[in-house]
Amino acid sequence: MERQNTKIHHSEFTHMQDPFRLKGMKEALTRIIKAVNEREKIVIYGYYDLDGIASVSLLLLVLKYLNADVEYFVSDDIDEKFGINSDVVRNHIKFLGAKLMITVGCGVNSVSQVELCKELGIDVIITDNHKCKKELPDTVIINPNQKGCSYPCKVLTAGGIAFKLAQAISMYYQMKCISKYLDLAMLGTLSKGFNITGENKLIVNQGIHHLNYTNNYGFKALLKVHKISSINKESIYRLAHNIIPSVKNRRCVDNARIAVELFTTTNMDRAEQIAKYLKNEIRGNELCVL
């Protein structure tokens, strides 16, 4: 695998770190290139919080842009351990015919589950932002907190790491539109309530800038339904915390899947329909986002 570009040429990325400073990025890109070029089934595995929704949506859009054979799965777990569910692997991921599973914001401590994937013929790329235990899965891992990773920003969210992976993919395939996905990375970053400094601040500021010109029908619908005319950190922060309330129940998983559809649909009418539905769900206090 030969990188097409060794530098990030887009001016808005001038102050961002090279994604290849993340340990495991080169290996992850090599495996993704193989999957894309050989039309292997890729499944993106994420959680139902807004950071997970944004991350799944971001990678789904990028890989679909490359005409990859890609689907996603939002985990039913609500125990906040952010691990890979073995039953999901057996009953869903394998059933989908996956040859490659990419996790977003989860899986860094799922040692036995990765071994199960290997037994089933599924390669795994883990992208996660959670703290690592001493024993890590024997697979490709992208996590700034893992031992031996010199990446300076240790507090990237799942959305931030998904965007760094998207950057690496764009550098190989010479994609010139990758910055438009900063709106999703920004939404995931704001939703976690982390200290917005360093690269997180760049993601938020540039994401808000790009949101003013977004062609994402989901964002357009949300701005319209929530009557947001001034796009800034405060208004988007409120939006991030008002897409769904903080009650944990099984229904939040279904609505997370609907939210992924919201951010990935190519139909504006459908986007507005979903945005209105989610707003009504807030009123009924039946939906959850972290």
**How crowded is the C-beta side of 164, counted as CA atoms within 13 Å?**
33
**pLDDT for res 283:** 59
* Burial degree of 118 (CB within 10 A; 0-12, 13-18, 19+): middle
Helix (H) or strand (E) holding 64: helix 50-65
**pLDDT for res 193:** 74
Q: The whole model's pTM is what?
A: 0.91
* Beta carbons of 259 and 243 less than 8 angstroms apart: yes
Sheet (strand 41-46) strand order: 69-74, 41-46, 100-104, 123-127, 140-142
Burial profile 223-260: b = 16 or more Cβ within 10 angstroms, e = fewer: bebbebeebeeebbbebbbebbbeeeeeebbebbebbb
* Beta carbons of 42 and 69 less than 8 angstroms apart: yes
Helix axes 182-191, 50-65, angle to 10 degrees: 170
**pLDDT for res 236:** 87
Closest among 230, 220, 183, 233 to 203, alpha carbons compared: 183
**pLDDT for res 6:** 41
Residue-level pLDDT, tens digit, the chain, 290 residues: 555 544 444 445 657 899 999 999 999 999 999 999 999 999 999 998 899 999 999 999 999 999 999 999 998 776 667 999 999 999 999 999 999 999 999 999 999 999 999 999 999 999 999 999 999 999 999 999 999 999 999 999 999 999 999 999 999 999 988 999 999 999 999 888 766 888 999 999 999 999 999 999 999 999 999 999 899 888 888 887 767 554 455 566 678 899 999 999 999 999 999 999 988 876 555 444 43
- For the chain, domains (ranges, CATH) are 11-284 (3.90.1640.30)
